[in-house]
Amino acid sequence: MTKKLTIQDIARLAEVSTGTVSRVLNNKPDVDPLTRKRILRIVEEQGYVPSITAAGLAVGRNRLISVLVPALTWPLVSELMLSVAEIVEETSYEIVLYSISTSNHEHDCSRVIDRILATKLTAGLLAVFPGQSARHLMELHQHGFPVVLIDDQNAPLDDIPWVGADNRGGAYAATRHLIQLGHQRIACIQGPMKYKVSHDRYKGYCDALQEAGLERDPTLVQEGDFMPSGGQACARAFFTRPLPERPTAVFAGSDLMAYGVMSAAQEFRLRIPEDLALVGFDDNPSSAHMQPALTTVRQPFPDMGQRAIELLLHLIEQSRSARQLRYENGRQPQKVLVEEVPRLQLPTSLVIRESCGALQKHSLFS
C-alpha cells in the first residue's frame, strides 16, 4: 500500500514550512502567490487529502462539532439533524455524531463526553434531549466549553444555553381545541413525569380546563412512556371504565402514544373520531398518514436545529476570541462566568386533521 502523505511531506516537496502549507490549505491570504500556486500543484499531483484533525491542530483551531443524539431510530432526530447539517455545510466545521443508548443513557452520555474532551479536537457540543446527563454538560459550560442543549427534557437548567419548544402553550392549544369541539371529559396521557416536557404539557392541559371552568378529574390522567405501548396501556385503562365515566376525547403527550390509543380504540371497537376524539403532540412524519390522520401539536424541529447550531457557532467564536485575548495578555484560562445565558423558546402550532372530528363537523355545516 502507498504510504499516506502528510502535511510534512507536502512541505518537503514544496521546500516550505508546514505552517506555510497549512495557511494555503486553509485559504489564508498571507502567502506569496507563486508559493501558493506551487503548493497547490503539488497537492493536486500527489493526491493529498488533508486531515481535518491535523489541519485543526496545525492552525490551533478545532474543526469538529460534536452532536449528542438519542437513539437514531427516534422519529424526530432526522428533522433536527438535517437543519443542523445544512448550516454546518456552509462553515469550515465537520460534525461528529454520537448516538446514546436509551437503556443506559446517563452512563453512555458521560462516557462520550469524557471521550470528546480527551481528544481536545472538538470546538463545541450540541446535545439533543440529553435528559439526566444535562448536569454533566452544565459543568462543561461553566468552564467555558461551548455547549447548547436542544429540549433538555429535565429539570430547568437556567444557566446553560438552550433551544426548545413551547410545550405548555402547545398542550393548552390542543386541549382548548377539544373543549371548543364540545368535549368535557378529556383524558390526558402524560409522558414520563421525570421529564420537564411532560410537566409542561400537563400544565398546558390543566390551563385549558381551568380557563373553561372544567374540573380536573384525576381519574382521567395516566402516565405513559412516550411510546405506543404506553399509550395503548393507558387508553385501555380509560376504555374499561363504565360508559358514562369514559373520556370522549384524549390528549396524548406524544404522537407515538397517540398511535397506541388508536390501537386500543380498535380493540374496544371505538371509532375515531366518531366515538373518541384524539390529539397527539410532536407531528411525526407518519402522523399525517395514519388512519385517521392524527391531529397534533407540531414542534418546530427544523427551526430548533437551525437556531441551536447557529447559537453554538456563535458561542464557539466568542470562546475562541476570549481565549486568544487571555493568552495575548499572558493570563491562563479560567472559569467563565456568563451573565446572560441564551434560552430560545420557539412557538408550536396545532395541526388539525381527521382524528379530532373537527373536519367532519365542518363538512356537516359547509
| pLDDT tens digits along 97-113 | 887 765 555 555 666 67
Could you say which of 20, 36, 58 is where a domain stops?
58
In this prediction, residue 363 carries a pLDDT of 38
Domain hosting 128: range is 64-165+301-346
Q: Are residues 229 and 326 in the same domain?
A: no
Residue among 269, 22, 313, 297 at smallest CA distance from 148:
313
Ramachandran class of 27: left when φ > 0, alpha when ψ lies in -120 to 50, beta otherwise: left
Domain holding 249: CATH number?
A: 3.40.50.2300
Q: Are residues 342 and 356 in the same domain?
A: no
Q: Is residue 341 classed as helix, strand or coil in its secondary structure? A: coil
Among 139-143, 182-186, 336-340, top mean pLDDT goes to 182-186
Residue located via cell numbers 374499561: 240
C-alpha to C-alpha distance for 274 and 207, rounded to whole angstroms = 26
Q: Are residues 108 and 247 in the same domain?
A: no
Q: Are residues 75 and 153 in the same domain?
A: yes
Q: Are residues 256 and 317 in the same domain?
A: no
Domain-embedded: residue 113: yes
In this prediction, residue 309 carries a pLDDT of 95
Q: Are residues 192 and 334 in the same domain?
A: no
Q: Are residues 194 and 289 in the same domain?
A: yes
Go through 323-341 and write b for each residue having 16 or more CB atoms within 10 A of its CB, e for each that does not. eeeeeeeeeeeeeeeeeee
Domain-embedded: residue 260: yes
Domain holding 49: CATH number?
A: 1.10.260.40
Q: Are residues 339 and 354 in the same domain?
A: no
Domain-embedded: residue 173: yes
- pLDDT > 90? residue 163: yes
Q: Are residues 324 and 353 in the same domain?
A: no
- pLDDT > 60? residue 66: yes
Contact 191, 201 (CB under 8 A): yes
Q: Are residues 179 and 291 in the same domain?
A: yes
Q: Give the pairing type, strands 349-351 and 277-282.
A: unpaired
Q: What's the DSSP call for residue 216?
A: P
Residue among 271, 302, 273 at smallest CA distance from 285:
302
Query: Whole-model pTM?
Result: 0.76
In this prediction, residue 58 carries a pLDDT of 44
In this prediction, residue 133 carries a pLDDT of 66
What length is written for the chain? 366
Number of domains within the chain: 3
Q: Are residues 210 and 254 in the same domain?
A: yes
- pLDDT > 50? residue 174: yes
DSSP for 24-72, please give it.
Answer: HHTT-S-S-HHHHHHHHHHHHHHT----HHHHHHHTT---EEEEEES-T
In this prediction, residue 295 carries a pLDDT of 98
Domain-embedded: residue 1: no
> Per-residue pLDDT averaged across 92-101, rounded?
82
Domain-embedded: residue 2: no
Domain-embedded: residue 235: yes
Residue among 311, 283, 312 at smallest CA distance from 297:
283
Q: Are residues 181 and 259 in the same domain?
A: yes
- pLDDT > 50? residue 280: yes
